[in-house]
Structure 1
Amino acid sequence: MTGDAVEVLRLGDRTVAEYAWRPDLPSSLAPRPYLHPVRTLAGTTVTELMPASHRHHLGVSVAVAEVDGANFWGGRTFLPGHGPAWLDNQGSQVHMRWVRRRPGQLMHTLRWNSIDGSVLFYERRTLSWRPAGPDAWALDFTFSLINVAERELPIRSPAAHGRAGAGYGGFFWRAPSGQCRVTAPEDGDAVHGGRARWLSVAGAGWTLVFLGADEATRGDRWFVRTRDYVGIGSSLAWEEPLLLAPGAGLKRRIVTVIADGDVSPGRAAAYADELAA
């Protein structure tokens, strides 16, 4: 969008992604940094930005439905006994400073502001990228949050308010709409709402393999939606709030392999061994 500040992610002479680190967005979308477009090495775009049905879906981002009443997801807020409602409560994730900007890695700090300007979290975010074979590359996305408010902060999903299956909130990837195939390890739980060391989503000529790359992230549940749209997330708070005391923090790391063509379950498992040990 006009006014965005963007960093370009390159591998050799290929542009594989663009990171809007200071986006020019309306407050209703819960403004936050995002990656879009993300492309395979062959140039296929594997993200969507502000689609008509869900304008608050911003490529690849960290989006949380609710933090102590503040909406860092965008759009409507789910209210118990009522359902989704438009509230004047959208927060924003604001760039503070760059820690590192070099080929293959970006690191910066952000603050999470409620709509009244108070700061709830400080965040350190690191994006790293590297080849993962002749037809794939890997995006390593790490974020750490520290509660800087002088009170306990509950992180909630709509499921924590009673909306069954809506456990979203955390790392979220809006993939291209259309037919897709979801695969997970045979010994994993049900994909949506389950835990698995890897999860793959294959569309028309592309595959995304999502890996929980540390113990805490592997303990989170996957949010997977393929009806109406294709969205994949690693959920911070499924059916119960995640409570952070003042000064407490959390860290999550997700590695995503972006591949041309199909990726077999055996290869996806090998990626988990190689990239998220």
Structure 2
Amino acid sequence: MTTVAVTGATGKTGRVVVADLLEHGFDVLAVDIVAGPGDREAMATIGAPLLRADLTDYGQAVDALSEADTVIHLANIPAPGLFPAAHTLNTNLAMNNNVFLAAAHNKLSRVVWASSETTLGLPFDVPPRYAPVDEDHYPYPTTTYALSKVASETTAQHIADWSGIPFVALRLSNVHVEEDYRLVPGYWADARLRKWNLWGYIDARDVAAACRLALAAPVTGAQSFVIAAADTIMDRPSADLLAEVFPEVELTREIGTHETLLSIERARETLGFVPRHSWRDIVGR
């Protein structure tokens, strides 16, 4: 039985990832710095012991991964603007560096970790060069949060080369859970409200599936994949949205009516990732 350490396990995405892994027969060691009595009880109830660890400390990272075979590393400050810019950069880099090095020290078989769509140029105050935006529209960090992910992708490449461990970076779009979808109709009146990520999003359940698929995908070295929903968050055709807000941006291929403008083709081909969930299932448009 494969034991997967999940860092950031008590976060919005982490909880869904842990539950999905358990449902698919993995043993899970949940790791988070936020681990109150309620969190411990909740994780214990579903069968995932919860370890409180500060991953900005290398020794704690080594200990946290010592009983695992693989790691899904989600723990980070999750967005720009939550803390001073330098703190976000330094904290995320410390966590990522320590987890990557601890994985090599403990000879884990794989590292799957949360990079970000922000590495591609978000928010698109400067229009993208083309659409759909894919993995090659990189690196364009515009915040220290995005820079922490870009720098960590470079670090992952070198540690993968040194250790022989495959590293899979998932460039996650804006993660939604079901209760978030009640806000979706409020975006429709003004296309500029969500232009910052080309109207993208991803359901947390599809993030969980991408993480699980990445554990077994035929990947060597360090590879990165855009992970987004199959559609946009808007009720209007994607080509119309692009033409209105970014008229100078060329579509490089024909797209479906509501198809995402964050290309998931590489994830589909290499990971077998097919998003199953949409706001349309909840809102009904």
Query: Same fold, TM exceeding 0.5?
Result: no
TM-score between the two structures when normalised by the length of structure 1:
0.25
TM-score between the two structures when normalised by the length of structure 2:
0.24
Between Structure 1 and Structure 2, the one with more strand by share is 1
Between Structure 1 and Structure 2, the one with more helix by share is 2
